[in-house]
Amino acid sequence: MNNKIILIVDDESQIRKLLEINLENQDYKVLMASTGEEGIHMAASHQPDLILLDLGLPDINGHEVLKQLKTWYMKPIIILSVQNSESDIIKALDNGAEDYLCKPFRTGELLARIRNAMRHAEVNNHDNKIQTGLLCIDLNTRTVSVDQEIIKLTSTEYQLLTLLASNQGKVLTHQFILKQIWGPSFVEETQYLRVYIGQLRKKIEINSNDPKHIVTESGVGYRFF
Amino acid sequence: MNNKIILIVDDESQIRKLLEINLENQDYKVLMASTGEEGIHMAASHQPDLILLDLGLPDINGHEVLKQLKTWYMKPIIILSVQNSESDIIKALDNGAEDYLCKPFRTGELLARIRNAMRHAEVNNHDNKIQTGLLCIDLNTRTVSVDQEIIKLTSTEYQLLTLLASNQGKVLTHQFILKQIWGPSFVEETQYLRVYIGQLRKKIEINSNDPKHIVTESGVGYRFF
DNA sequence: TCCCTTTTTTTATATAATATTTATAATAAA
DNA sequence: TTTATTATAAATATTATATAAAAAAAGGGA
């Protein structure tokens, strides 16, 4: 359900553990780094949706880490720090931190502030597309296009196409497809499948008499390319 | 230089005075209200750029004031409260407060958090209009116009339109829309949706029999263009 | 408070879209 | 060639959607 990734950058292993447990409890995926350098690298390689950054790191000064991250990292950074000094708070916020929490913090409050930050970030999800030849299936927007032209598919047609397409190159048996899309009691209704495969071919194939995307495996099933 | 207006809603006159001096020092224009009702009215009539809201008001509960404001006030609301209880903080943030500060607060920190909030609002201000064809939705002023003509929408109609429009090109399922707008227990009430989609089309489509903006995806949901 | 207006919810029904069935033609395998 | 399998078109059944309009609920002043 929740697949947001949070990166924790903190040198105290107890704090990391505590955060890890609580965040995973909320179904966040958790990444951890114990130094500033490691944190920056992990942020770059994993593109987390939010960073929890401790200011008191062993290698680089936390404010410096924040500044570096802010040059390219667009998502929220929440500062966690034992330093309760006003100048630190002001500096961090003015450097673009999303929020500032003093340790020891209350878990519930932290979680609420994380939700708050995520809401602010509300960046649209990265796209999830299957592209092959002129055919493009955008699983995110649920749009199918052939040569840039958007094709209208019924619900069943779309389900069938995505089932085939997400198993590209693999033969799916009639029974398997029928079970997946119509349900277990329809495994004998091969004719349904033929009708729908025909409709799909008319819509997505350049020449539906010579299908390149949905190939028949006689006596077995269909295969998508 | 700075012509931002800040509304202070607090019943303690000393706090109001303290805030007023410090904020005017930073060239903010300051408005003040000492009750929840007065605060809501001033927010409506003066459209301040930020609201500092005390939770402990004499007339209406602060959380209630926050909720009411959030139904139409789009700019940041920072909570100031003597109540340091975690549940209060969580409640306020989840109700859409921009930030939460406990009294007594440090002036410098408050000013930094105000700058931070203003920055967020700034970002939000940039792409606050959704324009497509003759239709224009201004999320900032909460106005919808077709061919320059302002259209009157009910609260639900507006929520529905903005939900669809902020996911342009993407199919939103009936269940998703119902959950977002009516709440999780309404996911079965597809007929509500049909009625409202019909009303919206009558208002925003050039020809509501041939809708170009809100497209039906039969058996699935609706899609906005 | 009551009355009036606006909005939401409910109900009914016509229409449109999709799913299923049937019939038959085309194709591939034995 | 014969048989099994697949493809296609078209008829029918089913389900989903659009729309109007009535009923109920919620707001908004005097």
Domain assignments of chain B as residue spans, ordered by start: 5-122, 129-224
Exposed e or buried b per residue across A6-29, where buried means at least 16 C-beta atoms within 10 angstroms of its C-beta:
bbbbbbeeebbebbbebbeeeebe
**What's the CA gap between B95 and A198, in Å, rounded?**
51
Residue A98 is classified by DSSP as S
**What's the CA gap between A225 and A30, in Å, rounded?**
36
**If you average pLDDT over residues A33-41, what whole number do you get?**
92
Fold classification of B5-122 (topology level): Rossmann fold (3.40.50)
Q: What type of residue is A210?
A: D
| pTM for this prediction | 0.67
pLDDT band at A128 (very low <50, low <70, confident <90, very high): confident
The answer to whether B218 and A155 have CB atoms below 8 angstroms apart is: yes
Q: Is the pLDDT of residue A1 over 70?
A: no
Strand-pairing partners, residue B153, are none
**If you average pLDDT over residues A20-28, what whole number do you get?**
89
Fold classification of A129-224 (topology level): Arc Repressor Mutant, subunit A (1.10.10)
Instruction: Per-residue pLDDT tens, chain B, 225 aa: give them.
Output: 578 999 999 999 999 999 999 999 999 999 999 988 888 888 877 889 999 999 988 888 888 889 888 877 888 999 999 988 888 898 898 888 999 999 999 999 999 999 999 988 876 666 678 999 999 999 878 899 999 999 999 999 999 999 999 899 999 999 889 988 998 789 899 999 999 999 999 999 999 999 999 999 999 999 999
**What's the CA gap between A63 and A86, in Å, rounded?**
14
Distance from residue A144's CA to nucleotide D17's C1', rounded to whole Å? 23
Handedness of CA B28, B33, B39, B44 (dihedral sign): negative
pLDDT band at A60 (very low <50, low <70, confident <90, very high): very high
Residue B178 is classified by DSSP as H
pLDDT at A157: 97
Contacts of B86 in chain A (CB under 8 A): 106, 108-109
Answer yes or no: do B169 and A142 touch at CB < 8 A.
no
Distance from residue B216's CA to nucleotide D23's C1', rounded to whole Å? 28
Write the CA distances from A200 to A178, A208, A222, B184, integer angstroms: 15, 9, 12, 35
| Residue A215 parent element (H or E) | strand A214-217
pLDDT at B105: 93
Q: What type of residue is B59?
A: D
| Helical axes A174-181 vs A190-204, angle rounded to 10° | 90
Contacts of B219 in chain A (CB under 8 A): 154-155
**What's the CA gap between B187 and B178, in Å, rounded?**
5
pLDDT at A124: 42
Task: Select the residue of A93, A106, A154 nearest B219 (Cβ to Cβ).
Answer: A154
Domains B5-122 and B129-224 in one fold: no
- Restricting to B residues 140-179, those with a Cβ less than 8 Å away from any Cβ of A are 169-171
